[in-house]
Amino acid sequence: MITDKDINKLADLARLGLSDVEKQKLQKDVGSILAYVDQIKSAPVEIDTKGRVGSVKNVMREDEVLNETGSNTEALLSEAPKREGQYLKVKKILGSSDSFEI
Amino acid sequence: MKNIDLKNLTVKKAHDAMIKGEFSASDLAEAYLEQIKKVDPEIHAYLEVYGDVKEQAKKADEKIKAGKATLLTGIPIAVKDNILIKGRIASSASKILEGYKATYDATAISKLKEEGVVFLGRVNMDEFAMGGSTENSAYGVTKNPHDTLRVSGGSSGGSAAAVAMNGALVSLGSDTGGSVRQPASLCGIVGLKPTYGSISRHGLMAMGSSLDQIGPLGKTVTDVEILFNAIKGKDSKDSTSISDKTYLPKKISGKPVIGVPREFLKGPGINPEVLKNFNEALEKFEKLGFKVVDVKLPNISYSLPVYYIVMPAEVSSNMSRFDGVKYGLLKEGKDLMGDYLKSRAEGFGSEVRRRIILGTYVLSAGYYDAYYNRAIALRRLITEDFIKAFNDVDVILTPTAPSPAFKIGEKITDPLQLYLEDIFTVTANLTGMPAISLPSGFTSDSPALPLGIQMTARHGEEELLFNIGKTFLNEL
């Protein structure tokens, strides 16, 4: 069962600032979905953490720049909510509190 | 304006008519714009009809006049709102990307631009492709053209409804757990989820990266085949993309054998009319000379729970890019952390938030082995079951969805109820195998609701699906 504490922790980890009402609803929904997916616990399967997933393999390429430098800069930066010149602008990080409160 | 019979139009018919000069790409585009104007206010398949459709059609006409036309030149197409077209809005039907303009073309889109298609507009979907009804769109639900009280399916509900209402000749959707096939089934058209990697995912907004595929939708198997062949192929921008040589098709002597996992169809929750229609489809296949046999897939009942662990895990990772810094919505808090918390809480809808929380849970320390690692191991087991089954049969047949189109609002309050819609479709995403949904008839409801069957084949065997599909739908 998912507790209040779990939901608070998960919301913090996922960077979702949720209201108490939303947290309660999520607790119920996620609880019932987990109860459903819990049936895999009885499945006849060995967990092989050393094994690979399917036919996944590394695909390598040369580490080289394929675009002309600066050809996409303006288009990309113009989508940013806040910018200063050629930089993305964010609030000060150093010295701010570690609290998760909004 | 030329009177064009859009209802019975196919890509080949349109192409021939444009080459012969019976109508131009401009005439065709105008006919579709008129039809959209007439029916879309009720259906709401489109989030945006592009303002430059006529200019695009004019360019296509020039290409045709110059003798450079391909089958798709001038063909009007609708594109799901999570596939990027440079300079145009792509919002994934989310508030967090409202007004976001794509900065590059998806590979599938650049290939279609080379063909000279006409992009009519972007179509509705569940937010970030999470859902099976478009009820999770931040911009309203898309209604089913066969019965406007019902959903069009999802998440590519706009792509399916646009074609079904004759508001586009073909369309592009994306399929992570059935999002092309289920709406195709609910709207009575054809939809393909190709082999994982066959169409580049470059420029498709990621939901579950090991499951996502772009897929074509159309009224006929042939239309879907033409669109698939135009956009498939190895792409240096998607390291998981494959070439025609990755999987070598098996030589089949005689008629292909159809396998049916009968045990799996006995489960509760399958609508009796769906089952009846499915059995009629089997009879039709037998009459057409196909051998139909039972097939055992011992772990298939774990597919849906496995999917609802793997998919949210990948969702929670992929959604972390939306931070109010690089693009999209910013809601300011008192510090950077506050910006994240507020932007993401206000930008994402409730289903996206639910899946992020679920994914964060199954990936968190202490639960990782019990959920994620176990699901990954089972995913491999299910894939091996399918590979084994394909030693004896050539395709595996099930209904596409357990029920016909349901009423708007009927299932949205209980997320688990809606997840069960995906029971037959998720396996093809877990195994990476291709699967196609074919229209197979209607219910006895009034108005009658379309039903569909789903055919799965070995990796890389789309051509076999097309051939059997054409036989089933009398397209040969």
Q: Is residue A33 part of a domain?
A: yes
Predicted local distance difference test score (pLDDT) of residue A52: 55
Average pLDDT taken over every residue of chain B: 96
Mean pLDDT of B352-368: 95
B373: distance to nearest CA of chain A, Å?
Answer: 7
Q: Is residue B293 part of a domain?
A: no
Residue B108 has pLDDT above 70, yes or no: yes
Which structural domain, as residue segments, surrounds residue A20? 4-42
- Banded model confidence at residue A102, pLDDT cuts 50, 70, 90: very low
Mean pLDDT of B94-103: 97
- The 3-state DSSP class for residue B241 equals coil
Residue A101 has pLDDT above 60, yes or no: no
Q: Is residue A47 part of a domain?
A: no
Pick from A32, A53, A77, A79 the residue to mutate for testing the B interface (most B CBs within 10 Å). Answer: A79
8 Å CB contact of B374 and A43: yes
Q: Is residue A73 part of a domain?
A: no
8 Å CB contact of A16 and B348: yes
Cβ-count burial B69-106 (b if 16+ within 10 Å, e if not): bbbbbbbbbbbbbbbbbbebbbbbbbebbeebbbbbbb
Predicted local distance difference test score (pLDDT) of residue A61: 84
Predicted local distance difference test score (pLDDT) of residue A90: 93
Domains of chain A: total: 1
Question: What is the Cα–Cα distance from B341 to B199, expressed in whole angstroms?
Answer: 35
Q: What is the ipTM of this complex?
A: 0.91
**Radius of gyration in angstroms for the set of CA atoms belonging to chain B, rounded to a whole number:** 21
Domains of chain B: total: 1
Q: Is residue B314 part of a domain?
A: no
Which structural domain, as residue segments, surrounds residue B169? 11-231
Q: Is residue A20 part of a domain?
A: yes
pLDDT tens-place string over residues B312-321: 999 999 999 9
Is the bond preceding A99 in cis, omega lying within 30 degrees of 0? no
Predicted local distance difference test score (pLDDT) of residue B260: 98
Residue B432 has pLDDT above 90, yes or no: yes
Ranges B349-353, B365-369, B387-391: which has the least confidence: B365-369
Question: B203 contacts in A (CB within 8 Å)?
Answer: none
Contacts of B123 (CB under 8 A, 6+ apart): B45, B46, B47, B78, B79, B80, B81, B142, B156, B158, B159, B161, B162, B168, B171
Q: Is residue A79 part of a domain?
A: no
Q: Is residue B273 part of a domain?
A: no
pLDDT tens-place string over residues B337-354: 999 999 999 999 999 999
